Structure 1
Amino acid sequence: MAAYKLMEFISWLVCHQPDCLNHALAWVLGHLGWRVVPAWRRYMAKENIKDCLGVDETDAEKIARESVYRFGRMLIEVLKYPLITRDNFRQLVHFEGLENLEKAYAEDKGVIMCTAHYGNWEMLGASMALLGYPILSITRKQNNGAMDRFINDYRRMVGQHVTYNHGENSMLAIGRYLKKKHLVGILYDQDSAHTGEHLEFFGKPSRVPQGAAHLSRMFGSPIVPLFMHNNPDGTLTARIYPALHTEKTPNRSQDVRVIMKELVAIAEREIRLDPPMWFWVHDRWKDGRKRYKEYKKGV
């Protein structure tokens, strides 16, 4: 409860203090964030950036740092949710390809919104809700109960519905929303451990969560990839791609694989366009600790 009240107070402060102070606070939080990231994650992020993007050590260090620094701005934007309304949010968020979402929604089969841990992904779900679309955001339960409650309360504040990414209740909620022709938001860029489609991501063997493709195939819902970009002037731009459609042939695994390959290619394209927007300190290939240990041993 104390943590929840503290976050409420910080949010109140952010909503009432001048923007110049919020910019300074975002800078401080972002730079502190880099300092508290474990050394093995910092090393892993830089090595993965070099592997994936073919850049040198200096550029890899810069991208890795900026990918963490931006979280200060993201946090401030979320803490300002109490100030955001349907009437004013488009002063903050611009749209590129909004007609693609409108066309997909007009199919009347629900829409599966697919994004990555890229830019301010929280504002994507918020923006869809503020546009007037009924949306269910699928999220991972936080380890800290107070923080989990806080972020979910803020998601609901801007009109989102929330369910966790596991359990029977989650699947029932997802199915119910798609049957009602609503939007469902899914993050698809993290390794799904022992499940998922075996695909290359930036030329490296990976497992990719298949949920979006399976749901699309089951309900006939179009998949709309979208990504949120930071603009230098403090605004955001949501880039929305044309819808993908999962075929329903006798070969289910191939149907799913085709769509997941398309989604992976789109994610790669977005990350190459603006590398610091992606969450590089996540252990995407599950080898970060091992690589760091080998580095420390001089292997």
Structure 2
Amino acid sequence: MQFLAYILVYPIIWLISILPFRLLYAFSDGLYILLYHIIGYRKQTVKENLDLVFPNLSATEKKRITKAFYHHLCDMTVEAMKSLTISEAEMKKRFQFKGFDVIHNLIEKDKSIALMCAHYGSWEWIFVMQSFLDFKGYAVYKKLKNPYFDDLVKKIRARYNSYLITTKETVPTLMHAKVNGNLTICGFVSDQSPKANKAHYWTEFMGIKVPVYTGAEMLSKRINMSVVFFKVKRLRRGYYETTFELLAEDAKAYDNYEITDKFLRKVEAQIEEAPEYYLWTHKRWKHRDKVPAEFQ
């Protein structure tokens, strides 16, 4: 059944991927009508999240954010499909970088890099940054249930010398590279919600105490990686700008969770600036009523 699903869906994805951008975004507009107006995909979750973190915003402003968010979500969906066939030159034109000197300065110091980001803006085309580097890049991800689609996603990322690794593969992969004297850059989407009973640290995010992932920080301390935040800004439809900001050159010099807190403040600033580009369909604050006594 999984292979059947793949051979039925893959041709559709490929056909969408070869559409010129004008038609691609026309398709996105249709997808928006389907998801927002007809299916109502996770609209209640989006409403609850916005009510929770922006209690002082008017209903009119929240509705504006919601509609803009769904438009952006659909754009990211078709852009992910476009990754299958888009040229490197086209991607570089549409996903540009600022502050790349931060990365190069760390490389000159022989430092591997933990790249922290959030579900904000667009993270689909960040992999093109590897075309500016001459060593492997990795991204920690959750393996897809369908092995054929999982292989497809990994193949697309590998076009730019980037490789997807699971949480269990992260430590041995990066340790192996370190032992062999190889520099690496590894991306962590670090704003997700861990299971409440497995969280080591709880802190405020958008004014609400929640469990947070600390893996990027702890791994950086363990194998002496520098930590960099990448901030994505949507310039206009289909065009993004990423800025690299140093969080910690020597992770071991920071108290536990200090780097994680710095990262979360950066994400909050992004959200406050343009909330429509955050992933509001994610149940980020679902454990807010389970705060352990030691973190209250």
Alignment of 1:16-31 (within 5 A): 16-31=18-33
Task: Note if contact 2:98-2:243 (Cα within 8 Å) is conserved in structure 1.
Answer: yes
The alignment status of 1:134 with 2:147, answered yes or no, reads no
Match of 1:294 in 2: none
What is the SS of the residue equivalent to 2:96? strand
The alignment status of 1:149 with 2:151, answered yes or no, reads yes
The alignment status of 1:67 with 2:56, answered yes or no, reads no
How far apart, in 2, do the equivalents of 1:56 and 1:178 lie? 51
Task: Give the C-alpha shift of residue 144 in structure 1.
Answer: 4.0
Return 5+ residue gaps in structure 1 as ranges.
290-299
How far apart, in 1, do the equivalents of 2:17 and 2:281 lie? 29
How far apart, in 2, do the equivalents of 1:127 and 1:243 lie? 22
What is the SS of the residue equivalent to 1:283? coil
The alignment status of 1:227 with 2:231, answered yes or no, reads yes
Moved more, 215-224 or 152-161: 152-161
Match of 1:114 in 2: 116
Task: Give the C-alpha shift of residue 217 in structure 1.
Answer: 1.1
Task: Give the C-alpha shift of residue 72 in structure 1.
Answer: 1.7
How far apart, in 2, do the equivalents of 1:93 and 1:14 lie? 20
How far apart, in 2, do the equivalents of 1:37 and 1:186 lie? 26
Task: Note if contact 1:246-1:255 (Cα within 8 Å) is conserved in structure 2.
Answer: no
How far apart, in 2, do the equivalents of 1:277 and 1:103 lie? 30
Shift in CA distance, 236/61, structure 1 to aligned 2, threshold 3 Å: same
Task: Give the C-alpha shift of residue 64 in structure 1.
Answer: 2.6
Tell me the C-alpha RMSD between the 2 structures: 2.5
**TM-score, normalised by the number of residues in structure 2:** 0.84
Task: Give the C-alpha shift of residue 172 in structure 1.
Answer: 0.9
Return 5+ residue gaps in structure 2 as ranges.
290-296
Task: Give the C-alpha shift of residue 55 in structure 1.
Answer: 1.7
1:189 paired residue among 177, 188, 191: 191
Task: Give the C-alpha shift of residue 42 in structure 1.
Answer: 3.3
- What is the CA deviation profile of residues 169-191 of structure 1, one whole-angstrom value per residue up to 9, with x for unaligned ones? 33212333455211011011012
Alignment of 1:162-181 (within 5 A): 162-165=164-167, 167=168, 169-177=169-177, 180-181=182-183
Shift in CA distance, 88/65, structure 1 to aligned 2, threshold 3 Å: closer
Shift in CA distance, 111/256, structure 1 to aligned 2, threshold 3 Å: same
How far apart, in 2, do the equivalents of 1:177 and 1:276 lie? 38
Alignment of 1:52-91 (within 5 A): 54-91=56-93
**TM-score, normalised by the number of residues in structure 1:** 0.84
Alignment of 1:265-280 (within 5 A): 265-280=265-280
Match of 2:11 in 1: 9
Match of 1:241 in 2: 245
Task: Give the C-alpha shift of residue 243 in structure 1.
Answer: 4.1
Shift in CA distance, 45/177, structure 1 to aligned 2, threshold 3 Å: farther
2:162 paired residue among 160, 163, 180: 160
Task: Note if contact 2:42-2:281 (Cα within 8 Å) is conserved in structure 1.
Answer: no
Task: Give the C-alpha shift of residue 71 in structure 1.
Answer: 2.0
Task: Note if contact 1:104-1:224 (Cα within 8 Å) is conserved in structure 2.
Answer: no
Match of 1:263 in 2: 263
Match of 1:296 in 2: none
Residues paired across the two proteins, number: 281
How far apart, in 1, do the equivalents of 2:252 and 2:162 lie? 30
How far apart, in 2, do the equivalents of 1:214 and 1:122 lie? 25
State the AA in 2 paired with 1:184: C
- What is the CA deviation profile of residues 118-174 of structure 1, one whole-angstrom value per residue up to 9, with x for unaligned ones? 1221212x1222323520111012344443333223222343111112x3x332123
- What is the CA deviation profile of residues 191-242 of structure 1, one whole-angstrom value per residue up to 9, with x for unaligned ones? 2223132211111111111111111211221101003222215311112112
Task: Give the C-alpha shift of residue 81 in structure 1.
Answer: 2.2
